[in-house]
Structure 1
């Protein structure tokens, strides 16, 4: 049976970048829904995969990246969505979760055909990741409530592009079923 995976994008973050202060309010708003998706995916036994920037720390492993993010100026934003011992972790260097990472190989080994994307930034990494997932023939689901943005207008446009150009389903976190693949699901993003 095809598997659904939750992909958490760039939530292990030090918030030491140029757009951090514009991003933080949206992250605070999305955090409860991301945590809710994490809990639901874990309860269903779905793979949870963190795909995260490495902050230019090429010799670091995921534990060191997590420690740096927790010790950062907004460590509280990381605490509620931190990986557990069963979470998988892929380090990326660019916007897309697929660009020069082993993610496609990992997903194939897990039998994953459907990706639920959450995290940050809607109009950047989430958008590019949705496109790359679509061209690799993965079904894509994004909850507008579980992604954070820098620019609200660009984020709305990005969500519309995901729907229209990438056949992504956009819905509330409660409408995402990690136990079964949806048949004929309808997008509810306006």
Structure 2
């Protein structure tokens, strides 16, 4: 099985933006699956990479973004997915996780071939990130229960586009395996 990384997109969030109220309801629904994916990836030893907007705070770093989000009115949406000491963190300024970030280099250093994309927003950042991953020849997996949307109809269209145009695998989060190399090159699942 190809070496896999879990990419958690934009989950460190204050929800102080347009459409936040609509998004929050979808995040609440996806949050258990996202948190479970993070726990399973960590347990397997697969890299967990948070790629998050900087919200225009150009002097901030991931710790400040996390503190601000935890101090916000939706702390309950951030706490279950808080990065641990082993998590990797990449700051982005635009929709795609790859746009002018060091992510492609990091994935190359980690010898990652397969990306599991979870987080928000399905019809925006997840969609553009899946496209950019596809053109970089990564295998892309999108667990439909671990992505949150603003517009359900656009999210469904985005998921269909990812599957059809980008060869992304659509599945439930429970169906995803995070395998790690075992003895003598065999794979073991958690």
1:84 aligns with 2:103: no
Contact map agreement 1:119 1:147 (CA 8 A) in 2: yes
Deviation of the 1:2 alpha carbon = 3.5
> Does the residue aligned with 1:52 lie in a helix, a strand or coil?
strand
Cα deviation digits, residues 152-176 of structure 1 (max 9, x gap): 0000000000000000001111111
Deviation of the 1:180 alpha carbon = 6.2
Task: Give me the TM-score of the superposition, normalised by structure 1.
Answer: 0.93
Give 2:107's aligned residue: 107
Unaligned segments of structure 2, at least 5 residues: 182-190
Matched positions, count: 181
Aligned CA-pair RMSD? 1.1
Give 1:97's aligned residue: 97
Cα deviation digits, residues 33-67 of structure 1 (max 9, x gap): 00010011001000000000001111111000000
Task: Give me the TM-score of the superposition, normalised by structure 2.
Answer: 0.93
Give 1:153's aligned residue: 153
> Does the residue aligned with 2:145 lie in a helix, a strand or coil?
strand
Contact map agreement 1:23 1:148 (CA 8 A) in 2: yes
CA distance in 2, matches of 1:2, 1:26: 30
Deviation of the 1:75 alpha carbon = 1.2
* TM alignment of 1:1-190, pairs within 5 A: 2-179=2-179
Contact map agreement 1:2 1:111 (CA 8 A) in 2: no
Unaligned segments of structure 1, at least 5 residues: 182-190
> Does the residue aligned with 1:50 lie in a helix, a strand or coil?
strand
CA distance in 2, matches of 1:180, 1:174: 17
Q: Tell me which stretches of 4 or more aligned residues in structure 1 moved more than 4 Å.
A: none
CA distance in 1, matches of 2:75, 2:36: 19
Contact map agreement 1:139 1:168 (CA 8 A) in 2: yes
Contact map agreement 1:53 1:93 (CA 8 A) in 2: yes
CA distance in 1, matches of 2:86, 2:180: 21
CA distance in 1, matches of 2:172, 2:53: 26
